[in-house]
């Protein structure tokens, strides 16, 4: 190999090494996992985008976060951004989950709409997700409406719908009245994809004649938790073990 070819090979190797280091850096950024202890929180800007963090809360991993916002007021200056949202760890009688704080308020003829996406994965494959619980903190007056609806998928966002949930708040209260919407999954899952549609509206059918209506609706906190049960094969193994134990006991 002549000196010119040698220098070229060295240059190619150096470029390849730099590219590998950059690629490794990008890959590591995309795989960052933040472990949130009870009461811990993280801003949504750290979660969204191609290099967004994943979050571990208890026995679950949450990732693939996405955020989108639109409204009808024509004022871009008050548009909600991901930086206004905070995700916190949630642990209750149902199980581990997420709590999302967002200052979403619509007054008069305005409608505001937020779309949120994320995945929930169990860290113990023997304890699969069996049902999903949704609740939120919000208020409404007059003809204002606050609503959170969501679809749960089994194979990516928009693919293989498992279940749907919906919870609405008006001046007269929640629908369902319990303030908690629950979806039982037809089969247990180790990973699910969740897409939420969060909407608040004042009175979009009113006419703004110089005396705009004062109807309003707000949502400040959305809570999501998940129940888990042993994976079916684990149950069968446990039953088989109990049956064997009972059989041996009778033989004695």
Structure token pair of residue 233: 């094969």
What is the tens place of the pLDDT at every residue in 143-181? 999 999 999 999 999 999 999 999 999 999 999 999 999
Instruction: Give the chain's mean pLDDT.
Output: 83
Q: pLDDT band for 138, please (50, 70, 90 cuts).
A: very high
pLDDT at position 12 over 50: no
In order of 153, 181, 230, the CA distances from 189 in angstroms are: 10, 19, 11
The domain limits of the chain are 1-31, 33-236
- pTM for this predicted structure: 0.78
| Angle subtended at Cα 109 by Cα 103 and Cα 113, rounded to the nearest 5 degrees | 40
Winning range, highest mean pLDDT, from 5-14, 84-93, 209-218, 233-242: 84-93
Handedness of CA 185, 189, 193, 196 (dihedral sign): positive
Run of H or E including 167: strand 161-170
CA distances from 227 to 53, 149, 192, 215 (A): 24, 19, 13, 37
Mean pLDDT within 226-232:
81
- pLDDT score, position 148: 98
């Amino acid at each position: 190999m002549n000196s010119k070819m040698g220098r070229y090979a060295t240059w190619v190797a150096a470029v390849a090494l730099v590219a590998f280091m950059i690629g490794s850096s990008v890959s590591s950024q995309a795989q960052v996992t933040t472990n949130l202890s009870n009461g811990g929180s993280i801003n949504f800007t750290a979660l969204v985008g191609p290099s967004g963090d994943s979050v571990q809360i208890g026995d679950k991993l949450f990732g693939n976060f996405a955020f989108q916002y639109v409204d009808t007021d024509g004022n871009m200056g008050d548009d909600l951004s991901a930086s206004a949202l905070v995700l916190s760890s949630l642990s209750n009688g149902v199980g581990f989950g997420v709590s999302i704080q967002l200052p979403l308020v619509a007054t008069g003829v305005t409608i505001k709409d937020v779309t949120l996406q994320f995945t929930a994965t169990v860290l113990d494959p023997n304890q699969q997700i069996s049902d999903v619980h949704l609740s939120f903190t919000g208020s409404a007056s007059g003809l204002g409406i606050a609503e959170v609806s969501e679809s749960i998928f089994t194979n990516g966002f928009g693919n293989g719908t498992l279940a749907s949930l919906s919870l609405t708040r008006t001046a007269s209260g929640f629908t369902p009245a319990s303030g908690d919407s629950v979806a039982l999954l037809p089969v247990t899952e180790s990973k699910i994809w969740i897409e939420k549609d969060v909407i608040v509206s004042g009175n979009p059918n009113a006419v703004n004649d110089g005396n705009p209506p004062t109807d309003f609706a707000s949502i400040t906190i959305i809570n999501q938790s998940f129940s888990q049960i042993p994976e079916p094969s684990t149950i069968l193994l446990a039953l088989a073990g109990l049956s064997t134990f009972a059989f041996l006991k009778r033989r004695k």
